Chain A
Amino acid sequence: MNDRRFKNVFKIFFAWQEGKEEKWLREMSKEGWHLDNTGFLNYIFRKGEPKDVIYRLDFKIIRSGNVDDYVTLYEDAGWEYISRMGFWYYFRTEAREGLSPELYSDNTSKIKMYNSLRWLLVILCGPIVYNLPNLYGRIIRALTGGVKDDLLAQGLIINFAFPLAIFLTLVLSLIIYGVIRISLIIKKIRLDIRE
């Protein structure tokens, strides 16, 4: 990746920030860096002519056998498929004057996309919500009674079990925050009286 024609950027966007991500990719293209591929939180850009390119991210849970059909439809409609990151698919099209191309042309379908994204986040919460109280309970019980005289066990709990519990708590908070943000986006779209 030392090649000057490529640039590798590590950047974190959260699930509810896809609008921000699209804007950032557009700015990069205006500077001549066009998205070439994506990895996990990783963007590879290729150097080219500066151009005004519009990027759109689509969240879709589909079977791998249907991806071809899905991508073909988008490409027929004038969208170039770049790559995917998890359930997010990256598309782009050249900006045309006075046109704001969207993948979703009505509010009903836009809401559906955000709903499926929200569902995925809620499902991700499940195992954490299920296990976290148990984990905290065990840590407290062990430290207050069970392993009072066992230094090794105490060390294990303080150095491993406790940080894990804190980490999972943070992840859970982040997911819940995401669900709230996405719910607000959905609410905003619903206020629009058009279908």
Chain B
Amino acid sequence: MVSDLKKLKKLKKLSPLTETTFYILISLLEPLHGYGIMQKVLKLSKGRLNLGPGTLYGALGNMVSMGLINPEESGESESRRKVYRITGLGIELINYEIDRLGEMIGNGRALINKQKTRGENTDE
């Protein structure tokens, strides 16, 4: 129980993630190196999020120091490229963010729909 509370506190502290961090985190549900992450995020966001290398490099460093991802040495052929893998804490944070974003979307949708129907009523 105590450790659960501690974990929740830690997740709360890490949230909300920036869009960049969130996309990097979910793309690392499979191990990838830096350029692989860029390509995957670009594809997932349908070309909207084109991560700059400076942004990605900084984000990876931060995420490693926060314990969300781990670097591992890759195979001989691509030894110059670090491969990253998500940690347990990283996966928990994704779930926490999905719940939070879901709430945002739900509230946004409900209130905007309410306004729309009100607008239709006054138009008539």
Question: Complex: how many Å from CA A99 to CA B50?
Answer: 11
Assess the A109–B35 pair: CB atoms within 8 A: no
Do A105 and B35 contact each other (CB < 8 Å), given the known contacts A70-B57, A73-B53, A73-B56? no
Complex formed: what's the CA distance from A155 to B2 in Å?
72
A109: nearest chain-B partner, CB-CB: B55
Contacts between chains A and B (CB distance < 8 A), count:
64
Contact with A along B35-64 (1 / 0, CB 8 A): 100100000000001111111111100000
- Taken together as a complex, chains A and B put the C-alpha atoms of A108 and B59 apart, in Å, by 10
Interface size class of B (residues with CB under 8 A): 20 to 34
Residue of B19, B20, B35, B54 near A76 (CB, 8 A) is B35
Interface flags for A91-112 (1: CB within 8 Å of B; 0: not) read: 0000000000111111011001
Interface residues on A, range: 20 to 34
Whether a CB of chain B sits under 8 angstroms from the CB of A79 is yes
User: What residues on B are CB-neighbors of A113 within 8 Å?
Assistant: 54, 58
Residues of B close to A109: CB separation below 8 A = 20, 52, 54-55, 58-59
Contact B80 A72 (CB under 8 A): yes
Question: A-side interface residues toward B, CB under 8 Å?
Answer: 58, 68-70, 72-74, 76-77, 79, 101-106, 108-109, 112-113, 195
